[in-house]
Structure 1
């Protein structure tokens, strides 16, 4: 539930890009800075948050990460102009950093090692549910309250985000929740060192995330604009269609992904899903608006849902317990920063070479990087 509440607002910038672009009369490069400002600051917040989570109570990190996002969402909703919108998105992004580096190690240390994949899958079910629900709610709010426009979803969804943050903080700071936190930390401290060669595998995986992941995330950043400008969808429809990608996560595919990882090992799932990510982009650019396009979005979401819990299990198995939150901070930082840096570049290149050309390039890049980096991680053991 905490993961669900945390992502209600963080799921909004992408789906609302068409409405924000129309309101401020932005070009592709300018509108890309909306997601870039949020992603860069979100990435920047992960590193200090990961370092702090290894040293302070995770309850504080999680509370700041959720309540801070709610405050940031309100500021975004009342921003008077484009520049202040970017400033407030930076503030909201910085506040997101407290949640993941603290919550993921806490969950992993709380369950039997043979069930870690499924536990993370259940946790990610909450986050995926937000990314499914938030675009639908945003499209509904824009349709029902056109006077508020893109501001409405930020202002309205800030309330449940704050409520979830308060509830979870109260639980973690009371006797039962605090005992759970302390028990999880004791278990983590007793774990054996990771498998030899873990630094090589971590570096290779980060390269996969930076190069391949960056190319893939830049496609995701422009999906709503692609739907509007190439496929002819309305702003509200484009925002709502993004929820299709998160249907698999809502229906438990993150748990299935974790279950598969618990059975055959995380590295096999990572390699296969990473290669599939590139192939899906080829299908995406070939589909027209209708069932075919919706199906590609669903498969894209299915692939992401299966991979997400598995990557976190992989990172845990390759990281010493004492540095785990710090490494997760680096991981989330990398995910945020690559998309943020690639998005403006992609926006500029789309203006010059069209969506079709740049989506084709991204498809080749994601596939090639996945194949190359898999050579350096294939020997990993959970």
Structure 2
């Protein structure tokens, strides 16, 4: 029988919660980096003189570089050193945010977003193996819930912070710069913590150093790359989860990127109230992620994921029609935030279960490739759809993509099982 959350937490080693707490703090910042600009798209459009589609490209650039560097960071975490992967990515992410705060032109903003994407790329490949090796099996779902809670709070912070800064009469650059300064300080502090205070059995690579050296000896880069790809191909469950992650991420980022715009233009809310609704959705999600983690430990991952994606599809469809009162629309945004957070710990448990021995970091990097491809595709695609077909059509598209996720999850569980 599964123990209660409180009893399981009491039995966990102290190092478990040190590691889970540290990576959750890092996840908080990385997720804040990802949503710095959706809350102020209207402000950025006026300042840089570009439309929503162009700003969608700026958001997509971050997702594209994030995608491109997932597997290199996964290889670094699995074969060399997780602390190095963690520190390098954390510092680069903060530097990119600071560059964005100073951006004088749209082109500069694109470059800064690319640097942010490279930095954020390393957090999943480093974070998940650290949690996996530091956490007992019977507490894994709840540990991922704490991690997801940190990420949800990170998503919730920029809408309130930036809307408050702008409403107070200050430049958006002040708020973005503050996030970058705090992020750089935390990156240095947490990297020191992992290097000095956490056991090498947790922070070290997934393979012994001599085995890795022997495997690399006398082999060309091309041969090593082919071997790497063969290992990925030998993990069909992980690849299927990555495809599912692409679909759910496309829906999620399509909703997140433009919900503030929809609430302003479609439901008549002010910028501050629309951003407050977005923050509320993340706060509801921060609570719901604990429910999802507990359910994935007590029941199983598959039903939790199916229920989550189905609920998101239905709620977004109602929101997209634009026929409800503004207060009801805000309630729908809150419910969507909670529904989509339920699936996070369940997907993490499946990834951990499907990952081949010695490839945990790489497996989570593969999943994040799917997530970040969705991040790269959704903002420009749905931004273009809004400008050509209208808000309602774009958000009905989000609902349709979420419904596709339900179908794919049913097929995935039927084929590969439920951890």
Output the TM-score relative to the length of structure 2.
0.82
Question: For the residues of structure 2 that align with 1:169 and 1:185, how far apart are their CA atoms?
Answer: 19
Q: Are the aligned partners of 2:60 and 2:380 in contact in 1 as well (CA < 8 Å)? A: yes
Q: Are the aligned partners of 1:18 and 1:228 in contact in 2 as well (CA < 8 Å)? A: no
**Structure 1 stretch displaced more, 80-89 or 223-232:** 223-232
Q: Are the aligned partners of 1:45 and 1:96 in contact in 2 as well (CA < 8 Å)? A: no
Q: 2:219 maps to which residue?
A: none
CA, structure 1 residues 96+182, in 2 after alignment: closer, same or farther (shift >3 Å)? closer
Question: Superposed, which structure 2 residues align to 1:126-165 within 5 Å?
Answer: 126-146=150-170, 148=171, 150-165=172-187
Question: Superposed, which structure 2 residues align to 1:112-261 within 5 Å?
Answer: 112-146=136-170, 148=171, 150-174=172-196, 176-179=197-200, 181=202, 199-250=235-286, 252-261=287-296
Q: Are the aligned partners of 2:80 and 2:204 in contact in 1 as well (CA < 8 Å)? A: no
Unaligned runs of 5+ in 2: 1-24, 208-232
Q: 2:64 maps to which residue?
A: 40
- Residues 277-331 of structure 1 deviation map (CA, whole Å, 9 limit, x = unaligned): 2112112224546331221111111112211121111111111131121121111
Q: Are the aligned partners of 1:4 and 1:126 in contact in 2 as well (CA < 8 Å)? A: yes
Question: Superposed, which structure 2 residues align to 1:276-315 within 5 Å?
Answer: 276-286=311-321, 288=324, 290-315=326-351
- Residues 191-250 of structure 1 deviation map (CA, whole Å, 9 limit, x = unaligned): xxxxxx994433433333334542443232221221222222333443333111111244
Question: For the residues of structure 1 that align with 2:110 and 2:33, how far apart are their CA atoms?
Answer: 15
Question: For the residues of structure 1 that align with 2:191 and 2:83, how far apart are their CA atoms?
Answer: 6
Q: State the 1:115 CA deviation.
A: 1.3
Q: State the 1:263 CA deviation.
A: 0.8
**1:333 partnered with 2:369:** yes
Q: State the 1:356 CA deviation.
A: 0.9
**Structure 1 stretch displaced more, 160-169 or 20-29:** 20-29
Question: For the residues of structure 1 that align with 2:201 and 2:194, how far apart are their CA atoms?
Answer: 8
CA, structure 1 residues 57+220, in 2 after alignment: closer, same or farther (shift >3 Å)? same
Q: State the 1:348 CA deviation.
A: 1.8
SS at match of 1:376: helix
Q: State the 1:182 CA deviation.
A: 5.1
Question: For the residues of structure 1 that align with 2:405 and 2:30, how far apart are their CA atoms?
Answer: 31
Q: Are the aligned partners of 1:79 and 1:85 in contact in 2 as well (CA < 8 Å)? A: yes
Unaligned runs of 5+ in 1: 187-196
CA RMSD of aligned residues (A): 2.5
**Structure 1 stretch displaced more, 297-306 or 115-124:** 297-306
Q: 1:88 maps to which residue?
A: 112
CA, structure 1 residues 332+236, in 2 after alignment: closer, same or farther (shift >3 Å)? same
SS at match of 1:177: coil
Question: For the residues of structure 2 that align with 1:81 and 1:243, how far apart are their CA atoms?
Answer: 28
CA, structure 1 residues 183+67, in 2 after alignment: closer, same or farther (shift >3 Å)? closer
Question: For the residues of structure 2 that align with 1:137 and 1:272, how far apart are their CA atoms?
Answer: 32
Question: For the residues of structure 1 that align with 2:300 and 2:392, how far apart are their CA atoms?
Answer: 36
Q: 1:189 maps to which residue?
A: none
Q: Are the aligned partners of 1:9 and 1:161 in contact in 2 as well (CA < 8 Å)? A: no
**1:265 partnered with 2:286:** no
SS at match of 1:231: coil
Question: For the residues of structure 2 that align with 1:352 and 1:5, how far apart are their CA atoms?
Answer: 34
CA, structure 1 residues 5+29, in 2 after alignment: closer, same or farther (shift >3 Å)? closer
Question: Superposed, which structure 2 residues align to 1:366-381 within 5 Å?
Answer: 366-378=402-414, 380-381=417-418
Q: State the 1:72 CA deviation.
A: 0.9
**Structure 1 stretch displaced more, 300-309 or 230-239:** 230-239
Question: For the residues of structure 2 that align with 1:207 and 1:182, how far apart are their CA atoms?
Answer: 29
**1:56 partnered with 2:80:** yes
Question: For the residues of structure 2 that align with 1:57 and 1:326, how far apart are their CA atoms?
Answer: 13
Q: Are the aligned partners of 1:109 and 1:184 in contact in 2 as well (CA < 8 Å)? A: no
